Amino acid sequence: MEDEELVSLLILNNEAAFQEFYDKYSNFIYKICFFMLGNEDDAMDSMQNVFLKILKKIRSFNFKGNFKSWIGKIAYREVKNKKRFFARDRKKILDFFKKDLKKQITPEEEFMIMERREILKRAILSLPNKFKIIIVLREIEELEYEEISSILKIPVGTVKSRLARARIALKEILEAKKIEKM
Amino acid sequence: MKKCKKFLKLISGHIDGILSKKEEDLLINHLTECESCRKAKEEMEKISKDLKSIDVFPPEKARIKIKRSELLKTYKIQISNFFPLLFALIFFILVFLLWQNLKEKGYPFCLEVRENVSDNFPKLIKRIYIEKEVPENYYIFLELNLEEGKKEVKLIETNYSSYSSYFLNKVKKMKLENFEGKIYYLKIYKCP
């Protein structure tokens, strides 16, 4: 189903359309929430809020715009607000992840961490917030620069330079971890 | 090294394929010369490729939790619960404040005006409540002379003399228009 059709069905309070909307965009929203908040429970809560907000605001969606970046905007705003409230908790979570990487306590965990994907996930989580969101949007979600710039409300030039810095930072983190392991 | 930093930034553009031809040529020229940058480029390309394979899925319970009807329920609960709760809170605060007010400004002392204290059953004419913090067992007897248009207050007996002047003044300032031409006896004590 096309986005326009989906939106108009959502406005008409169609239950099936909502299910389809969930299937199509829950991953995208969840990724933003998960990588920005760093744990599953908070991500779930935020995702629920995002869906509620989308339902409430769906009538104000401008059909000329890009639906995905509209959703991204809402999700990003929600996550940002949540982070403000739970700034301290988040710091704890991040510290936990960092400690985890250094200590590598149990063999099971070691196996998990050895996995490349898990390493990458944790590396993204340990990035600064600015870089985290841009990596998620560009590398994982593969959005266009223009879409990212409209979600984050920054110029395209800034997106480019920030993405470059984020990639370099990610590379440095991963290199540091390799050395640690050796 | 400074040069390399600039090229590292160009690599990001190269991965996304957004470099101009001039920039692309510059980068390729540099990469043939500089080994560390070549390695960095390979590394970054590998990371970028691997990142695309990362998939984080929302847990299954999210699907049950996030349904249109469920969401609208929570939305309605948010709205419908908010106002009654707020009003209940305001009501309780008001009651609490009122109670506090009454507690502080309570009238624990009675002023009884009696016609004649020497009778066995002196007639109670009036009972007034006074606000004043005094000891619990405090009492004071006063004689109020209103004969021939004058107004005289005399102290007969008390157990704490330090409070007498307060009550004497209080009685003097009192408006007693209906009791005229007689001697009254006043008793002040803690209300039963």
**B117 has pLDDT over 60:** no
Tell me which range, A93-97, B103-107, B170-174, is most confidently predicted by mean pLDDT. Answer: B170-174
* CA pair distance A145, A136, nearest whole angstrom: 13
Position B51 scores a pLDDT of 84
| Other CB atoms within 10 A of residue B158 CB | 16
**A65 has pLDDT over 90:** no
pLDDT tens, position by position, A119-167: 788 888 888 888 888 998 998 888 889 999 999 999 999 999 999 999 9
- SS3 readout for B106-148: CCCEEEEEECCCCCCCCCEEEEEEECCCCCCCCEEEEEEECHH
Asked if the Cβ–Cβ distance from A117 to B50 is below 8 Å, we say yes
Q: Is the pTM of this model over 0.95?
A: no
Position A111 scores a pLDDT of 61
Whether B186 and B141 have beta carbons less than 8 Å apart is answered as: yes
List the single best residue of A52, A121, A156 to mutate versus B (max B Cβ within 10 A): A52
Position A182 scores a pLDDT of 45
SS3 content of chain A, % helix, strand, coil (to 5): 85, 0, 15
List the single residue in A44, A55, A163 with the smallest CB-CB distance to B12.
A163
Query: What value of ipTM does the predicted structure carry?
Result: 0.73
* Cβ-based contacts of A22 with chain B (< 8 Å): 63, 66
pLDDT tens, position by position, A163-179: 999 998 888 888 876 65
pLDDT tens, position by position, B8-55: 888 888 888 888 888 888 888 888 888 888 888 888 888 888 888 777
Asked if the Cβ–Cβ distance from A47 to B58 is below 8 Å, we say yes
* CA pair distance B92, B89, nearest whole angstrom: 5
pLDDT tens, position by position, B61-77: 777 777 776 677 766 66
Asked if the Cβ–Cβ distance from A18 to B44 is below 8 Å, we say no
pLDDT tens, position by position, B147-175: 777 778 888 888 888 878 887 887 777 77
Asked if the Cβ–Cβ distance from A164 to B11 is below 8 Å, we say yes
Tokens of A131: 């870089």
Is residue B156 classed as helix, strand or coil in its secondary structure?
Answer: strand
CB proximity A175 to B under 8 Å: yes
* CA pair distance A47, A26, nearest whole angstrom: 8
